[in-house]
Structure 1
């Protein structure tokens, strides 16, 4: 990573973000990581809702607004009343010289605030206008409120796939559908910028949580579209296959198997488990026999894994190159040495919370270092700076402050 004085890859790109929560801001934080100037336009007083959503009952408890920090590092924040005439004029002047505008406001709000594509394009024909929605721009559900919990996970049938045979499914992690959808939005923005380079014209790019959920589960949805027959769910002990189950070990840890190429891995697997008797057991010696006697095989494999601790099995499975993983705790996942070795978890020097770490955006470009992660901005922290940069005098800025059109963090 580079310090902020070097010229970064996207250093000549100015982005206006009029968005809240996770999906659109997560796309913009990737742009900021590669050096784009991202100006986050927030409502007065409250700002982005994600500034306070770490306080939701049931989420990990912290004084730090960790969801907001994750998706808003290295951005500039201005607080602006878009409903006022003077506030909208500030926004208009920002748009004139911007390369990208990113929003995930609901469609009716975009119309009401004069933020829809046609209006923005009239202000700046070269702008790439990036829209993220819950349910898409068309159809009878287009105006519904949408979050990843309902648009991405539930409507894609992913929840149907992972719902347990008995009991209830726990909630998916905060933003776990938004972040992959944000990467799609990032890709759309970069594609739009490439199109502008080729045509000298701006364009609108868009995506939705609904579309990204379908894409994430597209292989199983394609099965349905192809007329495939889906099998009924079975309890674990009577699963269709042993190769991708979770297995408890003696120390009450969970081992996740993923032995997809069973023809290749069957013998090494038996050796790793010290169960070479499986190789000659007529119940398990062939693929067809294993399918016929799957409940018995699952019982035998489960009983074997229960005889030793997780570290023992990890060593044995690695020795024989069997695909597997230990189901990690959050502490283990955050302190994973493999993540550190690949700069997936990187240092963050926070002015309020000190030396800590954060999650890096998930790709690298050779010869283009990212900006070192910095603190997410305070609400309106850069209002004076940004307005000064688009030609407002100090007297004009002061008048806007007095009229409650803008807000500056003091």
Structure 2
């Protein structure tokens, strides 16, 4: 039985994170990923130290995040023979994923119009910083700039009056990759019905604004961003601190429905029946939300988090401790559900890495294969596509391709 995307081929012409993370997801679903890098390699190979992570020529945990489960080719796209080889790859593929800007795509002859004429079946997935129209259409767009900064994340996440947020690197990239994955799979379904390929476009700025939808809409009614947790509209959807200094968040957005049960559970039963406090409409109108928040703050400071957990569970109140990264790394939930996967590096020892969040029953928990050095599979694919050993040696010597010449590496 065919499992997941077995038999589907993706040619990847990308750099950095957002676009490469999409084929990584498709690879975990069983697709064959043919990653084509320039002879100098993807610039993302240099980024590990900027994340505070070490790397070697053979092992790079930072790069693995968006580049597991791929086959590594290195081709000079400015060479006629190089681009001809890539066309051969695309001819036999189902999907092309890229994030090159329009000018580069046109210059190299791998833009959508060119490829769709040559290969009408091809699905073209394009990750962009900004949209195809408007003043920024030709601008470089990165996660930190197009998503976190322009998308409002940096300024909306801190508490009111605090400095801009320091958003973790590639936060928006990995979210945008999910959207591009959904788009190309939708196009793949449509091609099964029509026989024709399609163009799928996702941009980082749009992804950020989509994620900020509640803020965008509520701001038009006067809601403030950034806001203070002491002034949120719904006191039952807010963060609080326990007696032992642990921050947690409760989330029961239906304040009116659960007012009596929640207040009784929190030791504030005397408020039940108080018509000045028992609905969101009235505490919004009379400005009493901060007062209710202060009552809850004081109540939560009377017990430890462990004690409050019993109360939350007994009353089925949605809650969670506000986790640090260390908490996540130690979280049994992550390992029970293959959210974090142990992975071994000869240089760095045992680490864990995030898996993609989509699961297909036919595939199960996917096999993860670490990234490889530049050109690791170039020779293999040239031979697979009809080139001779002599062709390979000549093309490598002339700088048309780059073939890896180091020791064989374990395929895991």
Q: Aligned partners of 1:249 and 1:398: how far apart in 2?
A: 67
Q: Aligned partners of 1:218 and 1:235: how far apart in 2?
A: 19
Aligned residue for 1:357, secondary structure, equals strand
Q: 1:243 to 1:112 in 2, by over 3 A?
A: same
What TM-score results when the alignment is normalised by the length of structure 2? 0.89
Structure 2 counterpart of 1:138, from 129, 133, 142: 133
Q: 1:371 to 1:392 in 2, by over 3 A?
A: farther
Structure 1 counterpart of 2:303, from 282, 300, 308: 308
* Aligned counterpart, 2:409: none
Instruction: Give unmatched runs, 5+ long, in structure 2.
Output: 407-412
1:274 has 2:267 as partner: yes
Cα shift at 1:135: 0.7
* Aligned counterpart, 1:366: 361
* Aligned counterpart, 1:231: 223
Q: 1:205 to 1:53 in 2, by over 3 A?
A: same
Q: Aligned partners of 2:74 and 2:142: how far apart in 1?
A: 24
Count of equivalent residues: 399
Aligned residue for 1:308, secondary structure, equals coil
Q: Aligned partners of 2:278 and 2:119: how far apart in 1?
A: 69
* Aligned counterpart, 1:9: 4
After superposition, residues 210-359 of structure 1 pair within 5 angstroms as 210-222=205-217, 228-232=220-224, 235-279=228-272, 284-285=277-278, 287=280, 290-291=283-284, 292=286, 293-349=288-344, 353=348, 355-359=350-354
1:83 has 2:78 as partner: yes
* Aligned counterpart, 2:114: 119
Q: 1:119 to 1:132 in 2, by over 3 A?
A: same
Q: Is the 8 A contact 2:8 2:32 kept in 1?
A: yes
Q: Aligned partners of 1:285 and 1:128: how far apart in 2?
A: 54
Structure 2 counterpart of 1:194, from 189, 192, 213: 189
* Aligned counterpart, 2:44: 50
Q: Aligned partners of 1:289 and 1:124: how far apart in 2?
A: 62
Cα shift at 1:355: 4.7
* Aligned counterpart, 1:68: 63
Instruction: Give unmatched runs, 5+ long, in structure 1.
Output: 1-5
Q: Is the 8 A contact 1:42 1:79 kept in 2?
A: yes
Q: 1:191 to 1:235 in 2, by over 3 A?
A: closer
Q: 1:130 to 1:167 in 2, by over 3 A?
A: same
Range with greater deviation from structure 2 (359-368 or 322-331): 359-368
Q: Aligned partners of 2:65 and 2:331: how far apart in 1?
A: 18
What TM-score results when the alignment is normalised by the length of structure 1? 0.89
Q: Aligned partners of 1:17 and 1:151: how far apart in 2?
A: 22
